Amino acid sequence: MSKVLYIPVALALLVSAACAQQPRTAGSMPSLPGAHTASADWTLPGRALAQTDDQDEEESVPSLEDRARALFNDQPLRGTLPGNELNQDLLFKFLVSEIAGQRGNVQLAAQGYLELAKATRDPRLARRATELAAFGRLQNLALESAKLWLELDKNNAQARQTVAALLVSSNKLSEAKPYLEALISGDGNVATGFMQLHSLLGKHPDHKAVLEVTRDLAKGHAQLPEAHFAVAQAAIGAGNYDLAASEVKEALKLKPDWELGALLNAQVLQEKQPGPKATEYLRGFLETYPKSREVRANYARLLIASKQLKEARDQYQIMLNDAPTNPDIVVTMGLLSLQMNELDQAEASFKRALELKYRDLDSLHFYLGQVYEERKQYDDAMKQYSAVTAGEQFVGAQARYAFLLGRQNKVAEAREYLKNVKTTSDEQRSLLIQAEAQLLREAKDYEASFDVLNKALQKQPDQPDLLYDSAMAAEKLDRIDVVETNLRKLIALKPDYAQAYNALGYTLADRTERFKEAKGYIEKALTLSPDDPFILDSMGWVLYRMGNAKEGLEFLQRAYTKRPDPEIAAHIGEVLWARGQKQDAEKVWRDASKGNPDNEMLQATIKRFLR
């Protein structure tokens, strides 16, 4: 049956690429569609578009008329722009546009600036109209404005890129093609142009059409690796992995040490046939080009994904040798060591990261707490958990602190501690409720655990985690009716939740004789998560209960190989015993008991057969 590991080691968070999003301030304009650099050639003096009227009156804010005069009468900021006298008509249109923008009528503001641009032939005003229309998702108006902007400033690469992006997003690929051709060759750097194609075309829904356009653009550039790279990217989007493979192969022939090409080739291999081929390819590439840092980082990630933790740590050690003061690598080394239960190395890495002033000190304290808890240095662990004051690990740290209180038979104090933790969201409060229920389960107070979860469900009846945990608590009280009700509701809310199917199937297999129904739920869970050891365990158990001990044992042993869990060991021993292999059963139970002397299910199983 599936278990929930309450606080997993957050290894994936450290090794996956992350992008920090900048918050948008009131009235700020987003980047123009397709623009990689949106540095403005000019800005209107004075207020931002959505600035409020109740701003401190003591601030020196130019009047709208002053701003109009600054725009139309002052020396142009760039090049030789049209010099337009500020007449009443222009002033009126400017005032209408600005006031409309301040009051949130983006369409009127954008239309006003477009009319101003047409009247004055000033590309700055056409750009402003484009920005406003794009901000308001006014596709046609944005496209008209962008085309005027490019017409008035023919050599502006950003204007051309904006037109192309708007045409692509409007599903006008054929019309966009000449603009894309101009972008590729516009500044003389054709290679850069091809490398930007994917950002412009990648989100277009017709992937086959994108591929055809990209192949047309690449004609005549057979000696340019970036052209082959662009075609390979488009081919991946269209699901044509054979073409992608051949194109990236051509790119690497022209540029054998190209890291981006190697990474794209690994992606193609992974897409064509998930498995070891991509890993093996990157390993070979590194043997030839050992200084390829990005390839090594991605190779290490693939090793982690395939559970080859020692090999992954070896790769991070190579990266650390090249960058000994990189705290991200140091922390990842620590997390890998923690996963491998090499606690001394994990502790050393996390302390080194503290010295290097790693950006997330709260997470470091949490990881150190895990190290000390594994060593049963509970006082040291509690000190580390109490040092976590914010961040992603905050709730987990409070939960672990409470569990350690519980292990000191201070359950009431632990519950009070959890109730006094200040939370900032319903999600955090739900996690703490789950922690309290788990604390009570560990104390074998199953009735109280169920009551805590049931009360929480009355306030949040559709909260998936509460439904799941409440079902597990009900199972301990033999409330199979509640188990079924909650898990069926959870499946209705989250049809792809493998653990819900597994828990329902296992409960029916273990506590009833509805074996056929149970097997159906477990089979569904396996289709959703085919390598989960606890689901494999459930399948082995239901097969055994249905009288197929031989096949059941095969599933159980597969599960135990993936995760040597004491409850899986209990099942293996029982099946072996039933098959007459009593000595083998006793050995499995004895070995599992060495590391898990207090596991309730394992000890109950042993007592049943060896009393």
What would the mean pLDDT of 242-259 be, rounded to a whole number? 95
All structural domains of the chain, each given as residue ranges with its CATH number in brackets, are 532-610 (1.25.40.10)
Statement: residue 8 has pLDDT above 70:
no
Which stretch of DSSP H or E encloses residue 196? Answer: helix 190-201
* pLDDT confidence of residue 170: 80
Alpha helix locations (H) across 289-357? 293-305, 309-322, 327-339, 343-355
Tell how far CA 259 is from the center of its chain. 24
CB 450, CB 481: distance < 8 Å: no
Statement: residue 69 has pLDDT above 70:
no
The 10s digit of each residue's pLDDT in 136-177 is: 888 889 888 888 988 888 888 788 888 888 887 787 877 878
* pLDDT confidence of residue 318: 96
DSSP 453-482: HHHHHHHSTT-HHHHHHHHHHHHHTT-HHH
Q: 3-12, 81-90, 429-438, 455-464: which has the minimum mean pLDDT? A: 3-12
Residues with Cβ within 8 Å of residue 606, at least 6 apart in sequence: 570, 573, 589, 593
Q: Measured on CA atoms in the order 216, 220, 225, 226, is the torsion positive or negative?
A: negative
Share of the chain above pLDDT 70, in %: 85
* pLDDT confidence of residue 558: 95
CB 192, CB 223: distance < 8 Å: no
The 10s digit of each residue's pLDDT in 204-214 is: 888 898 898 88
CB 400, CB 381: distance < 8 Å: yes
DSSP 151-173: HHSTT-HHHHHHHHHHHHHTT-H
- Max CA distance (Å), the chain: 103
* pLDDT confidence of residue 82: 55
Provide the 8-state DSSP code for 218.
H
Residues with Cβ within 8 Å of residue 340, at least 6 apart in sequence: 309, 310, 313
Buried b / exposed e over 16-39, threshold 16 CB at 10 Å, is: eeeeeeeeeeeeeeeebbbbeeee
Residues with Cβ within 8 Å of residue 430, at least 6 apart in sequence: 456, 460, 463, 465, 466
Residue 6 — very low, low, confident or very high, per pLDDT cuts 50/70/90?
Answer: very low
In angstroms, the CA 99 to CA 97 distance is: 6
* pLDDT confidence of residue 259: 96
Angle made by CA atoms 203, 209, 213, in degrees to the nearest 5: 95
How far, in Å, are 210, 237, 250, 394 from residue 206 at the CA level? 6, 9, 25, 44
* pLDDT confidence of residue 375: 93
In angstroms, the CA 511 to CA 518 distance is: 10
What would the mean pLDDT of 93-114 be, rounded to a whole number? 83
Q: How much is the mean pLDDT over the chain?
A: 84
The 10s digit of each residue's pLDDT in 494-513 is: 999 999 999 999 999 999 99
